[in-house]
């Protein structure tokens, strides 16, 4: 097949995902550890004066990017299957270069960690998917409230503190990253820190559990008020990464579209309550068991209206994959994005495949049921890429997805997991 040059993007992988559509999915897919937990737990391990073990770490490229930073800071890191050991006793608190900082959004967690432990950090503005401007003002405001001085030169940030003192910090927005980063910075501050309007995502509970096992004194994660009583030092500990509710949701949506007894295993069902509520509204047939859900394709899907919200609302990270299901509903649905101003990268590709979508600002009106047709499309960010895979799986004919690095950042072994349950999907060199 002739490849149109427009498909190539500077610096992206010379591979593409090829999908032959309309094959039913049956069997069992096991969910890995949560990306958005793991990318905070790995930096958190550097708070310890000792060795930490993190189990059930997902096999994704964001993990590799963090490993590069941990090694750059002269920490030892070993990996055995899905368990990693990090020894931070020889940590050398050097500048985290721009090349390392921009590899992912979560590089900013080293700010809170190194500020907490050394009262000094030099790092650059983080990277991350292109879904909005992604400021870090709330993180910096929290650090300043604890007593840090922040100097910004271009994209480089230097943070210094004589000492860090507990403070009452009310977040203007329930930011996941700022909540976690301020928790890190407050762990060894003098006195009590209270974070109000804290994010309530379940990954934050996972991180609090790890910090408390390391000797921190934190309570309230999962609620909108988190209390941290500073300690003088932290020691090595062990933690399990919780299951990835966004990976799970992505495969659950595939089951709603193509399942013939497709079981998504190793989940915590209540973490996906908002998604299940919408699937019920649409008439999707599924059976939830203790740690799994089994789905069967439903032919007559009802349209729904969705507004993304902070946890426990409908997660912004499932907006794009969910849009593909909405193209298959009989009638008009809406998807309104309230968290990120640019979570729209999937729309051009879905339109090119034949979807009927009208966009008004951050609200899409999606009319179904439309038959999607395979073609050449580009991933623009992690969750847009996931949506394109869902679209390719249900499309007539063959779909070619370019810029697949975005997808491999956050979905471990996705080609293998889908092939195992009957999808005709592969990665090929261009
Ligand atoms: C985390 O990003 C996740 N990433 C995102 O998942 C997820 O979409 C997001 O939380 C919301 O759930 C990781 O955990 C690595 P935020 P984060 O701070 O922490 C504004 C994925 O696909 N904001 O809760 O960066 C911001 O602009 C990724 O896995 C500020 O204004 O999200 C946005 O509008 C994508 N100032 C809103 O808050 C700040 O200092 C949510 O941001 C920080 C955030």
Q: Say how far apart CA 249 and CA 311 lie, in whole Å.
A: 14
Indicate which residue of 52, 129, 187, 323 is catalytic: 129
Q: Is 129 a catalytic residue?
A: yes
Lowest mean pLDDT among 10-19, 271-280, 305-314, 399-408: 10-19
Q: Which atom of ligand 1 is nearest to the CA of 131?
A: 35
Query: Would the pLDDT of 5 be above 70?
Result: no
Q: State the distance from the centre of ligand 1 to the C-alpha of 105, rounded, in angstroms.
A: 9
Residues framing ligand 1 (Cβ under 6 A): 35-36, 39, 105-106, 129, 131-132, 134-139, 173, 175-178, 199, 316-317, 339-340, 382-383, 410
Tens of pLDDT along 226-235?
999 999 999 9
Mean pLDDT of 290-319: 97
Output the average pLDDT for the chain.
95
Mean pLDDT of 38-46: 98
Instruction: Give me the percent of the chain exceeding a pLDDT of 70.
Output: 97
Mean pLDDT of 98-124: 97
Instruction: Name the residue at shortest CA distance from atom 27 of ligand 1.
Output: 134
Instruction: Provide the pLDDT for residue 299.
Output: 83
Residue-range domains of the chain with CATH = 11-31+243-429 (3.65.10.10), 35-240 (3.65.10.10)
Tens of pLDDT along 132-179?
888 999 999 999 999 999 999 999 999 999 999 999 999 999 999 999
Instruction: Provide the pLDDT for residue 129.
Output: 83
Instruction: Provide the pLDDT for residue 8.
Output: 52
Instruction: Name the residue at shortest CA distance from atom 22 of ligand 1.
Output: 317
């Amino acid at each position: 097949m002739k490849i149109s040059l427009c498909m190539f993007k500077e610096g992206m992988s010379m591979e593409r995902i090829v999908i032959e559509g309309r094959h039913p999915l049956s069997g069992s897919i096991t969910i890995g550890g949560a990306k958005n937990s793991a990318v905070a737990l790995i930096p958190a391990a550097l708070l310890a004066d000792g060795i930490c073990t993190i189990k059930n770490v997902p096999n994704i490229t964001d993990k590799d990017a963090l490993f590069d930073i941990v090694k750059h800071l002269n920490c030892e890191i070993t990996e055995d299957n899905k368990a990693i050991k990090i020894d931070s006793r020889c940590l050398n608190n050097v500048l985290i270069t721009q090349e390392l900082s921009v590899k992912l959004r979560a590089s900013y967690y080293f700010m809170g960690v190194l500020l907490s432990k050394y009262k000094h950090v030099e790092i650059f503005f983080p990277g991350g998917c292109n879904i909005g401007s992604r400021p870090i003002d709330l993180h910096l405001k929290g650090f300043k409230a604890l007593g840090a001085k922040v100097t910004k030169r271009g994209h480089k940030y230097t943070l210094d503190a004589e000492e860090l003192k507990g403070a009452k910090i009310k977040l203007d927005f329930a930011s996941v990253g700022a909540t976690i980063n301020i928790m890190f910075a407050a762990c060894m501050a003098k006195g009590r820190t209270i974070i109000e309007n804290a994010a309530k995502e379940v990954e934050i509970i996972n991180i609090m559990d790890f910090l408390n096992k390391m000797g921190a004194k934190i309570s309230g994660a999962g609620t909108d008020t988190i209390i941290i009583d500073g300690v003088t030092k932290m020691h090595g500990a062990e933690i399990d990464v919780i299951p990835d509710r966004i990976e799970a949701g992505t495969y659950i949506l595939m089951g709603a579209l193509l399942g013939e007894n497709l079981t998504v295993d190793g989940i915590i069902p209540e973490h996906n309550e908002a998604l299940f509520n919408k699937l019920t509204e649409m008439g999707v047939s599924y059976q939830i068991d203790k740690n799994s859900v089994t789905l069967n394709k439903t032919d007559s899907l009802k349209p729904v209206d969705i507004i993304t919200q902070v946890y426990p609302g409908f997660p912004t990270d499932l907006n794009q994959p969910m849009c593909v299901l909405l193209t298959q509903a009989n009638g008009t649905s809406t998807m309104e994005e309230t968290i990120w101003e640019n979570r729209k990268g999937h729309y051009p590709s879905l339109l090119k495949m034949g979807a009927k979508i009208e966009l008004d600002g951050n609200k899409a009106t999606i009319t179904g049921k439309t038959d999607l047709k395979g073609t050449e499309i580009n991933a623009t960010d992690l969750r847009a890429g996931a949506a394109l895979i869902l679209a390719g799986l249900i499309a007539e004919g063959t779909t070619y997805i370019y810029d697949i690095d975005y997808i491999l950042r956050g979905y471990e072994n996705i080609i293998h997991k889908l092939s195992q349950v009957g999808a005709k999907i592969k990665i090929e060199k261009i």
